[in-house]
Structures are given as structure tokens and as C-alpha cells.
Structure 1
Amino acid sequence: MLTPELLHGLRNLSLAARQAAEGFLNGAHASRRHGAGMEFSQYRPYQPGDDLRRLDWRLAARSDRYYLRESEIDTSLTVHLLLDASASMNHRDDNGLTKLDYARLLLGALAYLATQQGDAVGLTILHPAGLQHLPPRADARQLPRLYHALETTEATGHFPGTGTLAQLTARRQRALTVCVTDLYEEGTEINTLLTRLRATSGDVLLLHLMAHNELKFSYQASVTFRDLETGHTLQIDASQQRAAYQKQLEAWLQETARQARRQGFDYHLLDTSQPLDAAMREFIRRRNLGS
């Protein structure tokens, strides 16, 4: 598997996105035996470099096997990618990557998958001062636009307020919305936005990023924490607080997942120390259901 550190080390988002997407498809195929009864006259196994527009996404969602259609009409949809670029996304894991670094790789890979399938892909970067928006397109120049926007964005300030976000839900446009965020918010602004997008656009896939050192609380001895958005600091003894922290975190994660699914979102928790495969698998499943 291609680790986030390896992909980030390429220092080339276009290359990293393609490597991640094609490595995932090829690895998933290689790890499974062909099922009995597969119609090989209509399908052939995916190979690196194949045109992903011919990939049978429905078969992939049902079986996690990746085959190309030899003679079917392609389906496509609109994919709207959302990136939380508030300052909390600057949190750095033990592997040296920030949540924003991971989000860039992830969204780049998802954009590559969707574009190769023929989908119209758009991107909105959520900044506190305003939105950076690239409308959905299916032309050959869209991927470079998306990569440039992702590579040049910086995480600053708070998650934008209701007024700034209003333009995202001003008109109805059927799409699969994929939101990558750490769910750090002052109130319920992220949940409110996704609820409105669910009503106006349809399907919402919520990819919740957490660093490994947050999930495992791998800190030792006396530690001073600083809130990246407010600047507030807190000094604690990590060893003494670990058990209480992990208990509260587990309760919060369970409630977060329950609330998201109750409101109709597809929710998936991602550890930023882990490969992108789980998120890409969830995207393929959700994309298939919407096509």
C-alpha cells in the first residue's frame, strides 16, 4: 500500500493522486480471486493505465473487484468536493503530515477517479473570509485546476459562518457531495451546511479526518496544547489524562457517527496515518449508488 508519507514525499499532487488511485484499484483486484460465474466475455480485469471511464463501478461496489466493461454505455454524475480549510486542519500527526496534507492527497485521488469515469467534478475550499469555488466540469483541463487550487490553499481561521456558506445552497443541483473535514467547529456550522446540501443536492459523503496522535493520545508526560483556531492553551499531564480523554473521545465519535447517519449522511472516520484506500472504497460505493 502507498502510505500518506510516501505520496506526500512525491511533492507532486498530480502524480500522487494518480499513483494512489491506480495503486488502490490494482491492489484491490490482485488481493481477490475471481468469483465463479464471472462473464469474462464482457469484463476484463483492471490494469494500471487503463481508462477508468470503462470501469464497472456497480460491480466494484458490490464485490470490491475491479473490471473494465468491454461494451457498455458509460454513466456519469456530478461530484462536488468540499475542503475544510480552517486552521485546525494544520494539526500535525507523528508522521509529519498535517490534516490538510492528507486532505489534499485524498481529494486529489478522488478527483482523479471521478474525472476518469467521466464525471463533472467541482471543488469548493471553505475559507473563513470566503469560498474558493471551481464549478463542476468534465473537461480535460479541470484536473490541473483542481490540483493547483489544492496545492496552493492554506488552512487559516475558523470554519466559515452561515452567511459565507449561503451561496453553496442557494440553488438546487443534483450531485454527490464529498466533504473532507476534521469536524472542529464552534457550534453546528458544519452540520448545518451538510444538512442543507443534503436537502438541495442529494447524497453527502462525510469523510472525518483525525490524526493518529489524536485517536491514540500518544503524548507523554507534561504537554501544552494550543488551540489552532483560538490560540488558547492548556497544560496537562498526558499520562494521567489519557484514560479519561479516550473515553470521552470514543463517546463523541459514536455520537457523531450516529447523528450523521440519522441525518442521511454517509459517515466515515479516517486516521490520517493510514493509506487512502478506505476512503476511495467508500467513494466508489457511494458514487455507484448515485449513478
Structure 2
Amino acid sequence: MLSPELLHALHNLPLAAKRAAEGFLHGAHLSRRKGAGMEFSQYRPYQPGDDLRRLDWRLAARSDRYYLRESDVDTSLTVHLVLDATASMNHPDDNGLTKLDYARLLLGALAYLAQQQGDAVGLTILHPAGLRHLPPRADARQLPRLYHALETAEAAGTFPTQETLAPLTARRQRALVVCATDMYEQDAEMERLLTRLRAASGEVLLLHLMAGNELNFSFRGAVTFEDLETGQRLQLNADQQRATWQPQLQQWLRATAQQARRHGFDYHQLSTAEPLTQAIREFLRRRDAMG
């Protein structure tokens, strides 16, 4: 699985998304083991370039092994991708990637997987200036539209108003909602939106993005921290604050995870310093559970 910084260095989101998705599937089956009761005469191992619509997704979810079906009826779903494009997503990790950069790669890879499976895929970019919304479609031109919207997305400002968000939950449609966000909120606004989306669609996969330097507090010496959404600044000595930072961060992460699961979200914390492996695996499992 290529690292996120190598994928980003391609400067080509369609290629990076494809490499990430197919690299995960290829790497996942390298150490495959035949299980009892499987009719392997009906399957063959996945190879990069194969049509992903022929993958046995149920088998993949159970075993993390990837095989193509010889004959089976595909099921399709609606996948609604949601990107948090508020200013805090501009936070850079030590590898040079911002949370927004990582989210672009991640959602691009998930869009590729869903489109190859025949799913209708849509995208909403949350931005204070207004929503950028591409309704779910399954046609061949949808993937380039999604890539262009992700590539041109810029993080700025604070969370959209409730009036701006209202059209997202006005229509009830069964879908898998996948949200990439850092969960930095002023007043639980992301939590309220996802709660409404879950009521309207049925399933929410919440991918909580944290930079590696936030998780490890790898800062040194005198540092000026700036709230990217409010502009508020705080000067401190990172070496002196490290012991205090870590337990407070872990307390917040635990509370965030507990609250998300209490609302019925499928919650996963991700580090922008790590490959996209975990998020892709959880997406495939959740997609299969709805199939």
C-alpha cells in the first residue's frame, strides 16, 4: 500500500485513487489461505486491473481475501461522500500533507471502488460559502466529476449554517454516508448533521482524521498555535506542555468516539501519517453489510 505522501506526489487524483484502491486489494490477498467449505473452482484471486464489479464483496468482508466471481448477480447501492472543507482541515502533518489532502485521496479511492462496483456515488463538500453537491449517479461520467470537485476543493472558514445544510436531509434515500472530517466543532454542528443524515439514509461511516503530529505532539520548543477557523493564537513551549497535551487529547478522542457510536455512527479514527488501508477496509465491510 503506497503511503499517502507518495500518492499525493503523483499530482493526479484519478491515478492516485486507482493506485490506492487496487494496491489495497492486491496487497490484501498476497498471503491468502484457502478456507474449508469454499468452492474455489468458482473463484479466482483478484489481480490489479480486473473488473471490481466481479469481486465477491461478502467473502472479502469476512476474510479480507479478494476473489472474483465467475457468475453472480451484482448488487448496487447509493454511496454519499461528505467532505469537511472548513479551515481546520488545512492543518499540515509532518509529511507535508494537510488533512484536506488526505481526505481527497481517501474519498477519491472510495469513489473509485464504489463506481467500479456499479454503485451510484455522490459528493457533498461542506464549506461556509455554500454546499457543493453532486447528486448520486452511476453513469461513466460521474467519477471525473467527483475527482474534479475534490481536486478543486479548498478548506476555509467555519461550518455551514443549518439553513445551508437543510437540503441535504430533506430527501430520504437509503444510502451509505461516508464523512471525512477532523471533528473540530464549535457547537456539535457536525454531530447534528450526521445524526440527520443517518435518519435520512440509514448508515453513516464517520472517518475521523487526525494529523500524526497532533496525535504524537511532535512539536518542539516555542510554538505558536493558531485556530485556523477563528484566527485565535496561543504561544507555548511544546516540551513543557507535552505531558499535559497527551491525556487531554486522549480524553477528547474517547469522548468523541463514544458520542459518535451512541448516535449509531460507524466511527473510525485515522492518522494522516498512515496509509489508507483501514478506511478502505471499513468502507468495504460497511458496504457489504448493506448489500
TM-score (norm 1): 0.99
Task: Kindly provide the amino acid, as one letter, of the partner of residue 267 in structure 1.
Answer: Y
Per the TM alignment, residue 31 of structure 1 is displaced from its structure 2 partner at its CA by 3.0
Task: Kindly provide the amino acid, as one letter, of the partner of residue 265 in structure 2.
Answer: F
- Between the aligned partners of 2:34 and 2:237, the Cα distance in structure 1 is 53
Aligned residue in 1 for 2:109: 109
Per the TM alignment, residue 36 of structure 1 is displaced from its structure 2 partner at its CA by 3.4
Aligned residue in 2 for 1:249: 249
Task: Kindly provide the amino acid, as one letter, of the partner of residue 149 in structure 2.
Answer: A
Task: Kindly provide the amino acid, as one letter, of the partner of residue 21 in structure 2.
Answer: A
Summarize the alignment of residues 208-287 of structure 1 with structure 2, pairs less than 5 Å apart. 208-287=208-287
Q: Secondary structure at the match of 1:242?
A: helix
Deviations 1:21-50 (A, max 9, x none): 000000001133232332112111111000
Q: Secondary structure at the match of 1:251?
A: helix
Deviations 1:51-71 (A, max 9, x none): 001111111111111111111
Task: Kindly provide the amino acid, as one letter, of the partner of residue 98 in structure 1.
Answer: T
- Between the aligned partners of 1:215 and 1:151, the Cα distance in structure 2 is 26
Summarize the alignment of residues 76-115 of structure 1 with structure 2, pairs less than 5 Å apart. 76-115=76-115
Deviations 1:260-279 (A, max 9, x none): 11110000000001000100
- Between the aligned partners of 1:12 and 1:33, the Cα distance in structure 2 is 35
Aligned residue in 2 for 1:125: 125
Identity among equivalent positions (%) equals 77
- Between the aligned partners of 1:243 and 1:160, the Cα distance in structure 2 is 35
Per the TM alignment, residue 19 of structure 1 is displaced from its structure 2 partner at its CA by 0.3
Deviations 1:70-112 (A, max 9, x none): 1100001000000000000000000000000000000000000
Deviations 1:115-136 (A, max 9, x none): 0000000000011011000010
Per the TM alignment, residue 15 of structure 1 is displaced from its structure 2 partner at its CA by 0.3
Q: Secondary structure at the match of 1:14?
A: helix
Q: Which stretch has the larger CA shift, 39-48 or 82-91?
A: 39-48
Aligned residue in 2 for 1:139: 139
- Between the aligned partners of 1:242 and 1:268, the Cα distance in structure 2 is 25
- RMSD of aligned Cα (Å): 0.8
- Between the aligned partners of 1:73 and 1:32, the Cα distance in structure 2 is 24
Q: Which runs of 4+ in 1 moved over 2 A?
A: 31-38
Runs of 5+ unmatched residues, structure 1: none
TM-score (norm 2): 0.99
Task: Kindly provide the amino acid, as one letter, of the partner of residue 242 in structure 1.
Answer: R
Q: Secondary structure at the match of 1:193?
A: helix
Task: Kindly provide the amino acid, as one letter, of the partner of residue 149 in structure 1.
Answer: A
Aligned residue in 2 for 1:152: 152
Task: Kindly provide the amino acid, as one letter, of the partner of residue 144 in structure 1.
Answer: P
Q: Secondary structure at the match of 2:44?
A: strand
Deviations 1:212-250 (A, max 9, x none): 000000011111101111111000111111111110110
- Between the aligned partners of 1:67 and 1:262, the Cα distance in structure 2 is 35
- Between the aligned partners of 1:240 and 1:79, the Cα distance in structure 2 is 45
Aligned residue in 1 for 2:18: 18
Deviations 1:158-179 (A, max 9, x none): 0112111111001101100000
Runs of 5+ unmatched residues, structure 2: none
- Between the aligned partners of 1:133 and 1:219, the Cα distance in structure 2 is 37
Summarize the alignment of residues 170-181 of structure 1 with structure 2, pairs less than 5 Å apart. 170-181=170-181
- Between the aligned partners of 2:199 and 2:205, the Cα distance in structure 1 is 13
Q: Secondary structure at the match of 1:275?
A: coil
